[in-house]
Amino acid sequence: MQQALKIYNDTNKKIKALSFSGFLIGWDMQTEMPAKSNHGEQMATLSEMEYTLSTSPEYVNAINVLYQNLNELNDLLKHEIIVAKEGIDKLTKIPMEEYVAFSALTNDFYNVYVTAKQTDNFELALPYYKKIIEYRKKYVDWLKTDKLCGYNVLLDEFEKGLTEQKYDQFFNLLRKKLVPVIKQISKVSKNQKNKFAWAYQKFDVDGQKKFQEYLRDVFGFNRDYTVIKESEHPFTTNCTVTDVRITNHFYEDNFVSSIFSAIHEMGHGLYELQISPEIDKTMSGGGASMAMHESQSRFMENMIARSLAFWQTHFYKLKEIFPNQLANVTAEDMYEYVNLVECSLIRTEADELTYGMHVMVRYELEKAILSGKVNAENIPEKWNELYKEYLGVTVPSYSSGCLQDVHWAYGEFGYFPTYALGSAYAAQIYNAMQRDIDIDAEIRTGKIEKIAKWLKDNIHTYGSSKYSSEILKLATNEDFNPDYYCNYLVNKYTKIYNLK
Ligand SMILES: [Zn+2]
């Protein structure tokens, strides 16, 4: 047992060092790397080294020994070994050549994908999508068990225990509760763009960056442990609680984009910064799941920063930075503008109410791809069809259609549904937090200290030392309940749009 524990800990140190290089390379690829550079070969070698280490006979044996003696381990280590055992069982089912080749494929694809999106050229991306889908189909076949097969294998990887059946129920509920509200709003909200013409002026990037620095102080995004840079798509990455990095993207003709992206990514970042340092040292560092992570970013972005209290508190600063553009604009106008409901094309720019529909398109499409009903060639056609059906919009280009998100280029299928699930977790968490804190009053102090502390104590501190379903239950005293999300959205938008 002692021997097994020593091998387990020593190997983890090496795995952590390797993932640290992966973290740095990934960060570099998206922020600093020259456009035509390619490090696919080195990345493939690193992933081969990681695979070799993680499947080495002594490491696997050590995990098996610890797994057989679970009852002698403390709770933290027990959970870690259960997760590690599951990971090993999976990894050893994937042939190493395939694992390494797939890593090289997605690396090569990244630059091609960026060009394909920029030049609106689906044909360029098509051969890669074909290979990625082929791999994912083989992957679910290698990993299938008595309990999980097909798309469920991938869904379970992103959110433990969530199956197609559960997601179908969740999305059906969203459709039932939200579509009538969306329809009512589209009837009453004509000419919204005219009403908010001030928002479509030019807001220079320097000013936007100034406001971003201001937001950093509001959200307590500690400069000693964080950096913010620029990339095509905003994202968060981290390796320890003392090194959390986020990016943003600035558009002069859409100034709110960088505001909400910054807050969204800081929400992810705060989660990582507030994990217990003791847990961070173990293999249970990092967030509990994709959905839980997304719940934290969307909580900050929507529940906090799309509230009236938030804009009544912070709009003065934006006005100070952009006095000409915002001369005749009030905090209430800003609140209305950032909660504008519009059936649109781009998921990341979507309002809170229609957001779930964007996710549903991707979920339905992934289901169809994994079951073989749709192949790579038909992605654009099926995509456009679903956008028409769920959002009533016509997709004019690949860039604003199926090429808009990078996830499939990374080979990630099963990821998208966690976005909607995370938003629903956020609403349940918001409800629970309100029992302990007057959230609006806290927002009006100009900082979010009590809110951040509540999240730290009830969610962040655990890292991934428990499953997200357990953390959600501990934090809210209840299993996942999507009613909170539906009610939150219906109430909020009924009020804003004066619906009956
Ligand atoms: Zn996110």
Chain-centre distance for alpha carbon 123: 28
Judge whether residue 241 has pLDDT over 80.
yes
Q: What is the largest CA-CA distance in the chain?
A: 71
Q: In what order do the strands lie in the sheet with 226-230?
A: 226-230, 243-248, 236-240
pLDDT at 9: 95
Q: What radius of gyration, in Å, describes the C-alpha atoms of the chain?
A: 23
Residue 349 CA to ligand 1 center (angstroms) comes to 12
Amino acid present at 91: L
For the segment 345-357, the average pLDDT, to the nearest whole number, is: 93
What's the CA angle centered on 409, arms 403 and 412, to 5 degrees? 115
> Quick one: residue 477, left, alpha or beta (phi over 0 = left, psi -120 to 50 = alpha)?
left
Contact 400, 346 (CB under 8 A): yes
Contact 412, 470 (CB under 8 A): no
Confidence of residue 271 (pLDDT cuts 50, 70, 90): very high
Residue 385 CA to ligand 1 center (angstroms) comes to 26
HSE value, Cβ hemisphere, 13 Å, CA-based, for 186: 14
Contact 458, 467 (CB under 8 A): no
Q: Where are the domains of the chain?
A: 2-146, 164-496
Residue 415 CA to ligand 1 center (angstroms) comes to 11
pLDDT at 48: 85
Contact 15, 231 (CB under 8 A): no
Q: 164-496, what's its fold?
A: Neurolysin; domain 3 (1.10.1370)
Task: Give which of 184, 209, 37, 176 is closest to 111, Cα–Cα.
Answer: 37
Residue 124 CA to ligand 1 center (angstroms) comes to 27
Contact 174, 356 (CB under 8 A): yes
Nearest-10 crossing angle of helices 96-118, 122-143:
150
- Residue that wins the pLDDT comparison between 332 and 348: 332
Confidence of residue 349 (pLDDT cuts 50, 70, 90): confident
Residue 229: beta bridge partners? 247
Among residues 50, 265, 352, 366, which one is catalytic? 265
Residue 294 CA to ligand 1 center (angstroms) comes to 5
Residue 150 CA to ligand 1 center (angstroms) comes to 26
pLDDT at 38: 81
Relative to beta strand 226-230, strand 243-248 is parallel
The pTM (predicted TM-score) of the whole model is: 0.93
pLDDT at 191: 65
Residue 233 CA to ligand 1 center (angstroms) comes to 11
pLDDT at 11: 96
pLDDT at 448: 97
What's the CA angle centered on 431, arms 426 and 432, to 5 degrees? 100
pLDDT, tens digit (0-9, with 9 covering 90-100), for 68-99: 999 999 999 999 999 999 998 888 899 989 98
Residue 236 CA to ligand 1 center (angstroms) comes to 8
User: Is 478 one of the catalytic residues?
Assistant: no
Relative to beta strand 243-248, strand 236-240 is antiparallel
Residue 324 CA to ligand 1 center (angstroms) comes to 32
- The pair phi, psi for residue 352, each rounded to 5°, is -60, -35
DSSP helix/strand/coil, 296:
helix
Residue 471 CA to ligand 1 center (angstroms) comes to 19
Contact 300, 266 (CB under 8 A): yes
What's the CA angle centered on 144, arms 140 and 150, to 5 degrees? 50
Q: Residue 236: enclosing H or E segment and its boundaries?
A: strand 236-240
Residue 237: beta bridge partners? 245
pLDDT, tens digit (0-9, with 9 covering 90-100), for 394-430: 999 999 999 999 999 999 999 999 999 999 999 999 9
Contact 59, 261 (CB under 8 A): no
Residue 315: beta bridge partners? none
pLDDT, tens digit (0-9, with 9 covering 90-100), for 173-217: 999 999 999 989 988 876 677 889 999 999 999 999 999 999 999
Per residue in 269-301, is it b (16+ CB within 10 Å) or e — as a string?
bbbbbbbbeebbebbbbbbbbbbbbbbbbbbbb
For the chain, how many residues are written? 500
